[in-house]
Amino acid sequence: MFRSIRSLSSTNRVYSSFKHATTRNTIADIYSMYHQKVPISMVTSHDFITAKFAEQAQIDINLIGDSLAMVALGYDDTNEVSFDEFLYHVRSVSRGNSKSLLIADLPFGSYEISADQALETSIKMVKSGRVQGIKLEGGLEVAPVVSKIVAAGIPVIGHVGLTPQRHNTLSGFKLQGATTESAMNIYKDCLALQKAGAFAVVLECIPNKLASLITENLNIPTIGIGAGPGCSGHVLVMADMLGMNGPSNAPKSKFVKEYANLYETAVEGLQQYKADLISQSYPDPEVHGYKMKKEVLAQVKQYIKS
């Protein structure tokens, strides 16, 4: 008995460490890139397949963004997706990507009531969604919330500038920080988030020079989307950058660069499939079918006739 107990506590046992326990990106990896001024790549995913895309492309941070409400679920804006719907997609992404740092948005209505609600939602996201951190929108007003979540051991990315969940207050999706007051408020928001413990902040749809100035004066990485080249890293919605929701000539945000058009490729593939069925070139019995022994076929025919 003592021998078996000793075998369990052998000095040869491998204990958990970063080297042995995981190959997933960590915040330490992100900060290493930040300090070396290596641009940080971040994209959104909304399901298992898009998560695999991000994993295979070695994307640094994979965000499960509430933009999936529109690009994957067909809602008019991000505010319509429920927490349970969103969590379903978060779990799908977490099963598909074992390499990138996984961050999930807190959807609208899941954190605004109180800091306690925000913490409870964040814990659910980490435990059930299997992500490594969360992202939430807002600046000075959410700093106490960020502080509470971080104190519980959950990493947080902030999000300022154009905050889509508040598009009604902002009178639509448009440039922020174009006036002196607006620009200074965005900077103050960033400082508040940094002080609260956020490990990075998303700058969305603000002037290039403002984003660069903020980046130069923060001690945490900035992730730009429509914020010019001066940020520490950049994020795009995968459905936008891969052209998943419409043809290449469809309207898109100014800051989006389309690297592929999967929509057109998919439609062309489906059209060819239908054409092959009509022409009877698919399925090819020699390529796509399975053979049957003649004697077995004869026996089955005899059975059917009898």
What are 99-118's pLDDT values in tens digits?
A: 999 999 999 999 999 999 99
- Expressed in angstroms, the distance from the first to the final Cα of the chain is 70
Residue 235: count other Cβ atoms within 10 Å of its Cβ. 28
Share above pLDDT 90 across residues of the chain, in percent, rounded to a whole number? 86
User: What is the amino acid identity at position 76?
Assistant: D
Specify the amino acid at residue 167: H
Question: Could you read off the pLDDT of 213-242 as tens digits, one per residue?
Answer: 999 999 999 999 999 999 999 999 999 999
pTM value is 0.89
Distance CA 225, CA 231 (A): 9
- Among 55, 85, 204, 258, the active-site one is 204
Is 295 annotated as catalytic?
no
Q: Answer yes or no: is pLDDT of 268 > 60.
A: yes
The pLDDT value recorded for residue 170 is 56
Please tell me the distance from the alpha carbon of residue 272 to that of residue 157, in angstroms, as a whole number: 44
Beta bridge partners of 41: 234
> Average model confidence (pLDDT) for the chain?
92
Could you tell me which residue, 40 or 171, shows the higher pLDDT?
40
DSSP output for 191-212: HHHHHHT-SEEEEES--HHHHH
Whether the per-residue pLDDT at 9 is higher than 80: the answer is: no
232 contacts 194 by C-beta, under 8 angstroms:
no
A 10 A CB-CB count for 223 gives 28
Q: In this predicted model, what pLDDT tens digit does every residue of 141-178 receive, in sequence order?
A: 999 999 999 999 999 999 999 987 766 555 556 799 99
Quick one: which of 192, 198, 165 has its CA closest to 70? 165
Q: Domains for the chain: give ranges and CATH numbers.
A: 21-260 (3.20.20.60), 266-305 (no CATH)
